[in-house]
Structure formats: structure tokens, C-alpha cells
Amino acid sequence: MKQEIRICGFGGQGVITAAVILGKAAAVYDGLIACQVQSYGPEARGGAARAEVIIANEAIGYPGIHAADILVAMSQEAFNRYINDIRPGATIIIDPDMVINYEAAPYAHLVPSTRIAEELGNVVVANIVMLGAVTALTGVVSREAMLASTLASVPSKFKALNQQALEAGMTVVAGQLP
Amino acid sequence: MSTHRDRLRQAMGDKVQFVQGDDACAYGAILAGCTFFAGYPITPATEVAERMAELLPKIGGCYIQMEDEIASMGAIVGASWTGVKTMTATSGPGFSLMQENLGYAIMTETPCVIVNVQRSGPSTGQPTLGAYGDMMQARWGTHGDHEIIMLCPASVQEAMELTIVAFNLAEAYRTPVLVFIDGELGHMRERLVIPEDDEFELVERTCATSREGYRPFAAGEDLVPPFAPFGAGFRTYVTGLTHNEAGLPRSASAPIHDQLVRRLADKILRNTDQIIRYEEFGAEQCEIAIIAYGITARACRDVVEEGRQRGLKVGLLRLITIWPFPDEVVAKWATRVQAILVPEMNLGQIVHPIREAVAGRCPVMLQSKIGGELHTPTEVIDALEELRCQVC
């Protein structure tokens, strides 16, 4: 088993944090092998941000991604840039409020993570909504591991909010096939 | 009652973590007993300093942010002379500034560890991207005749383990030891398992016992003089000038200089079997070899398996100790393969000592890549195919 996951958007959306939480869920809580790398511009907000996680059950050599098995796109620019670097049958998850034109992947799963996060009271958990969707759709990590990793990665006063965001992401894709 | 070792573990947190290569170097230092860090922040090495700044106060250690890298290197040399284990971390531009005091540490036989999280140069280059452009600077960056010890990890776990080893070698041979990673590995996260104390070895410098007739730079058969920390009541004089066994400057004496500088080199060269580490994959029935180090070796490991599936009899020699250079190991590989590929994230540095060790026994091809991207397994396989066409 080897799954390559790319999460992309712009700086400030928590793209890298999401990848770190996902990798930690796999490596620390599910006992799998995981490797996470990232690239981002010098800006604190805005600019392109991209993070990648490889999850496998044996040693990971080359730490880069050949073609994504799972692509999470949180901006139009990121979607356009990475939609061709996917494996056939890849799971694609987009925020339809951020990625308006997704003709290149009409079968993408639509997860309005930014809107859901706003409804929960804080836009910063949009990335966690996406992680809920990834977990429910792909099973790349267990729900228990994802929850444990999320709660271990956020300040204690935001634990409840993050748990709600994770569950909202799982619910919004409930019943959909990967 | 909690012991000091318990406090270290408490400060570091969970036994199993998902952290960056930079963090792993800091953990290795803490486990090795480092209690002093001086540094100046620089991408992509800043996280080493950040982590040390967080951990050292919790364990009774000391962290100082210096005004620059010249001072940082000076501070870890000075602190080491109080008898503690010291470290700094930097990247290319800072490593350039450290060269003078690195030589001072060699000449004064001061144990210390320098982590270099390499980025592209020359000058400030590409701060956020990885490179291996300082491999030769590590060897010859400081002036004068000398030997240096340098270790090159390829994973987050190994970054921690080899930082411990670096401290052990620094203590054993009273010399600065370099741990070289790159921006990619420094910022990459992987699982890190913090070992128990009985799972790794710790070496402490041999200390002088008698003040009577103590000569601070008189070495026995092991060529490493017993150490007397400042403030312990020993009469010690420390200078970068050529000095006699009493430590006093004798800079006009040819025999004293010859004896001193040869001893400094020999204490490392006579112990290469203790210092040199490497890993071999697919060494049996191998026609073409890859010799790689650092993060590049990871793609090459994939290639050994993929290549064999495609009928390429390929093996990998992963160098872990780069300096002192493992000539004999490389020479042995050269006698049993038809060609050697050397992928490097620079314009060709370690390919030179490899060619020297191979000494014409087989062709050696450099696969150079700069700009911040890693060699992909596909690129390495393509280069191997090209090399096979040339030699077979």
C-alpha cells in the first residue's frame, strides 16, 4: 500500500498544517510509515502553498510525489496547476467556492470547506473540514487516528471546534464513493 | 525522584513523534548530552535553533542567539572548554562565516558539533530549497592542513541518530564534527522514535586526572590529549598558533608544527574503521553501482529495486561518513562493477574523491542536479540506462 496525497491552495489556508496532521495520524496513531514535504512562497498569507504526504506500509525512499492518488485543491490556481499530476482514478476533493471552474475534473468531490468552517464560527478550520472529507472518502487513515492527531495538534481551547470541523467534513461526503 | 535523563525525555515529549529533520538534530543533541547551543537563525536551519531554544532551558542548559555565525562558532568553542557538549546549526552562508573558528576548533582540539542544513549557493542562493553544495567546503573550507569528520543522514530518524554519533566522535577525538543535511530533509517530517538510554552509546571526553606536571596537549598512544576544563584548577593555555605539549606558542619551530599537525590528522586517519559508516544495497551480482549520500540516496534505493525488475543489475553504496572519505570501500566496489553513477545535488563534488578512489578501474559518471529539486527515481534509472549503453 502506498498513497500519495497532495493538498494545495494558498498561504494562510492551513494547507501545510493539514498535511502535517494527516501524516501524524498515519505515522503516530495508525502505525504506518509517512513522509511529509511542503513548498511555499516567502509570504505569510497569499502565494501558492502545497504540501504532500506519502503514506505507506513499507519504507519510503524518494520523498516526492510522482502522481497524486488524492488531490485536495483549495484554490483555483492550485487546482489548475496540479489537476494533471494525478493517477488514473484519483480521488479529487475541491472547495467549490474557491475552485469555480473544475471542468477538468467533473467527478471531483465538492466540499465547501470554507463555508462550512465559517458556519462553525471560524474560517481557520476549513483545512480540518477537508481532512474529515479525505478520511471518510478514502480511509487512508482511520477516523480514530485522524481525530487523535487533530486534537493533539491544536490548542486546547480550539479542540471542540476542530472536532466539529472534522465531523462536518466526514458528514458532507457521507455516502459518496471515492 | 526524577533524574536529569528523565527531565530530557519530559522536555522532548512523546516517544513517537512526526517531526522535521531539523527537530531530529536538536533531539539527537539533547540525547547526547548537549547543554549549550549558540547560533544565528538562517533558513532552512532555524528550526534546529528554535527547538534548542525551547528545550535547553527546560533541562538546565544554555541557549544563546549570537550576533552572527562567526560569534556562534566562537561561543561553542569557548563553552566546550568549560567541559560541556556544544552545538551550533546553520546553512551555507553561515557555514562560510564559521570557517575561521572551525579551524581554531581543530587546532585547539575542541569537541563540538556543527549542523549544516544546506541550501543552494553561491552566496544567499535559494534559502528555502535543498542542495549539497557545501560538501567540499566542509573538507577544505578552513585553511591549512587538517582532517574533518562529516556525517550525512538520509532520514529524520537517522538525523537524530547521527547527531548522537557526531557528539560521540567529537568527544572521542576532541575535534569538531559536522552533520550535513539539506533544506529538503531539514523540513521533511517523518516518524521519529526517541530511543531509550540503553539503546545507544554515549562517549565522554577523557579528562585529565592529575594537575601535577599536566601538559594540556600531550597525547598518549591514542593521540588524543586528556582534557582539562577551564576552572578545574589545571594550568591550560589555548592558542590557534602552533603550540607545544604545554600549549605554549612555538610558531617558528618546524618539528613542533610537523608533529602537532600530523598528530591532529592521524588521530582521525588511524581510526577510520571507527568513524566510517556506509550502507550497501544489492551489492551481489551488481553490474552498475550508484554511489550516493544524503537525501539523494533515498531515490537511489527505490532505483535498486525498480532497476532489478527492469533487468538492470544495479547496486547502491550509500555513504554515511563522507569525511574521512571511505576510499577503501569505494575502491572495493570499483573492482566488481562495470561503471559507477554518482547523482549529486551540486555541480559535482564528492564525485572527485570517488574518482580518486576508483583510480580508473571503471568509468564514473556524474549526474548533477541543482536548483532545489531532488533526483527522481526515473531520472536516476534513465542515467543508469545511458551509462549501461556506454559501457556494455
Low-confidence ranges of chain A (pLDDT < 70): 40-46
Chain A residue at shortest CA distance from B302: A61
Q: Do B18 and A23 touch (CB under 8 A)?
A: yes
Q: Hey, do B4-199 and B279-391 end up sharing a CATH topology, with the first three levels equal? A: yes
Sequence ranges of the domains in chain B: 4-199, 279-391
Question: Out of A20, A40, A66, whose CB is closest to B18?
Answer: A20
Residue for grid cell 562529516 = B150
Chain B residue at shortest CA distance from A60: B298
Question: Out of B17, B128, B298, whose CB is closest to A61?
Answer: B298
Q: How far apart are CA B103 and CA B279, in angstroms?
A: 30
Sequence ranges of the domains in chain A: 2-172
Size of interface A-B (CB pairs under 8 A): 58
Q: Tell if the pTM clears 0.90, that is, is over it.
A: yes
Domain at B279-391: CATH code: 3.40.50.920
**pLDDT digit string, tens, across residues B36-54:** 999 999 999 999 999 999 9
**pLDDT digit string, tens, across residues A8-59:** 999 899 999 999 999 999 999 999 999 999 876 655 566 788 999 999 999 9
Quote the minimal CA–CA distance from B308 to chain A in Å.
Answer: 16
Best mutation target, B17, B158, B191, B345, to test chain A (most A CBs within 10 A): B191
Over 60: is that where the pLDDT of B1 sits?
no
CATH class of B4-199: alpha beta
Report yes or no: A74 and A113 within 8 Å, Cβ to Cβ: yes
Q: Do B190 and A36 touch (CB under 8 A)?
A: yes
Quote the minimal CA–CA distance from A97 to chain B in Å.
Answer: 31
For residue B377, the chain A residues in CB contact (below 8 A) are 61-62
Query: Region B354-364: what's the mean pLDDT?
Result: 98
pLDDT at A178: 74
Instruction: Report chain A residues touching chain B, CB-CB < 8 A.
Output: 20, 23-24, 27-28, 33-40, 42, 59-64, 66
**pLDDT digit string, tens, across residues B236-279:** 999 999 999 999 999 999 999 999 999 999 999 999 999 999 99
The 10 Å CB-count burial string (b at 16+, else e) for B95-128 is bbbbbebbbbbbbbbbbbbbbbbbbbbeeebbeb
Closest by Cα among A9, A23, A19 to A141: A23
Query: Count of H helices and E strands in chain A?
Result: 6, 6
- Under 8 Å CB-to-CB from B116, ≥6 apart: which residues? B45, B89, B90, B91, B92, B95, B134, B138, B178, B179, B180, B181
For residue B295, the chain A residues in CB contact (below 8 A) are 63
For residue A27, the chain B residues in CB contact (below 8 A) are 16, 18, 190-191
A2-172 classified as CATH 3.40.920.10: yes
Q: Do B298 and A64 touch (CB under 8 A)?
A: no
Report yes or no: B113 and B166 within 8 Å, Cβ to Cβ: yes
